[in-house]
Amino acid sequence: AAAARGVTGSCAAADKLPHRTGVPAAPPLDALVWLGDAIYADKRADGRRSLQLFQVTNPLPLVRTFWVAQRRSPIYTTFRESCVRLRAAPGGGPTAPAEPPADRDDYDAVAVDPEPRRVYGTWDDHDMGQNDGGRDYPHRAVTKRYFLNFLGADRADPRWGREGVYTFHTVPLADDGDGAALAPVLRESYRHALCFLLLDVRSFRDAPNASQLGDALGAPQWAWLEARLRTDLADGADGRRGCAAVLVGSGTQFMMDVLPSENWAEFPASRDRLLALLRRHRAERVVFLTGDIHMGELAVDFGSAALQTLGYPLVEATSSGLTHSAGDYGLLGRLLPALFPARQRRLGLYVKPNFGLVRLAAADGWRASAEGRAAR
C-alpha cells in the first residue's frame, strides 16, 4: 500500500513528450514535479536535434512560444488532467479550475493560467535560458515569468515577487486507493506524507572556478531553506514530525559527481552546508531528487563521511530525460557505466528515456508496531 505517490521528470524537448494511453491514474498521482529543463530555450526553434552539442541564442518572444507550446501540448495536457490530483482548497476540498484570463498565452504577465492540479517544479540551465548559466544570465527575471506560468503558479505564489524559483510544497496522506488503510496510522506520527524542498541551483549560483569557493544557492535561498527546516519540518506541539519523507529537488546531481556534467561537487562548501543544515534540524528520511544528465540513476552512500555529516545514508534518485537520453548516442551511451564507474555508490544506471516514481509506503511490520504504540 502507498500512502502517497508522485512522479518526477526533467529534460523535455519541445513537441517530443512521450505518448501515453488514455487510461487515468487511479487513484490520481499526488504530485507532478519538474526537476529542470522542462524546455530547451537555447536550442533550435524547429525542435529538431535536441541533443545537438551547440547552443543558440533565441529572442525572448520566441522562447516564450516554446513555453506556451509545451504547456498546451495535448500529450502534457491529457496527462495532467487525467493523472494528477487537484490541489486542496483552503477549506480542504479540491480546488475548482479558475476562470481563464483573456489571454492565457501572455506569459509576460503574472499568473495568466493557474494550474488547479499539484504541478510543482524548479528549473535548470536550459529552461532558465543559458547553458551552464548562473546568476550572470541577464534575462532570468523574464524567463522566470515564463517558467512560473508554465507551472501554472497562481497569483499568491511568493516567487512572483522575489528572485529565484526555489519553493516548498507538502503532499497530504492519501485517504483513497491502496493508501486508505495506511494513512490513518501514518497520520498519528506525521503531519504530511511528502515534503518537497525544490532548490534553485541557477538564479544565485556563482560561476564554477578552480578554487571551488563559490556558492550554489545564494544568501536569500539559504535563509529561506533554514526557515523551512526550522518551521515546516520541525516537530509539532502534538509531537508529530513534519514529514514522513523529505524530498530535496535539484536541477543538477548532488552526490553523484563522476559524470562529465555539472554537479554540486563544484561547490563543496555549499554541499557540506546543506547536509549540515539537514542534520542540525533533524531532517530524516531525506532523498535527493535530481535531473540534468539524460540518464536515470539510483545511488546511495553508506560511507562514514555521509554518516558523520548527515547521520544516515545519503540517497539520490536521478530522472532524466523524458524525451531524449544518452542512449541516443548509440555505443557511447552503453559504455558510460564502464567509462565513469561509481561502484561504491551507484545502484543502477539507465540510459534510455525515463521518469521517476515516488511511493511512500511502510515497511513490513511497521503498521502493527505503530498501532501497538498507539494502543499503549
Domain count, the chain: 1
Output the average pLDDT for the chain: 89
For the stretch 1-15, pLDDT in tens is 688 999 999 999 877
Amino acid identity at 83: C
Weakest mean pLDDT among 7-11, 235-239, 362-366, 371-375: 371-375
Q: Compute φ and ψ for 88, nearest 5 degrees.
A: -85, 135
Omega before 152 cis (within 30°)? no
Q: E strand or H helix at 277, and its extent?
A: helix 268-280
For the stretch 75-94, pLDDT in tens is 999 999 999 999 876 556 66
Q: Which residue has the cell 544506471?
A: 349
To the nearest whole percent, how much of the chain has pLDDT over 70?
89
Cα angle 40-346-167, degrees, rounded to a multiple of 5: 45
Give dist(CA 173, CA 192) in Å, integer. 6
Is the pLDDT at 115 greater than 90? The verdict is yes
Amino acid identity at 32: L
Q: E strand or H helix at 192, and its extent?
A: strand 190-198
Give dist(CA 360, CA 186) in Å, integer. 10
Amino acid identity at 165: V
Q: Identify the pLDDT of residue 65.
A: 95
The parent domain of residue 112 ranges over: 4-375
Task: Please report, for the domain that includes residue 73, its CATH number.
Answer: 3.60.21.70
Is the pLDDT at 310 greater than 90? The verdict is no
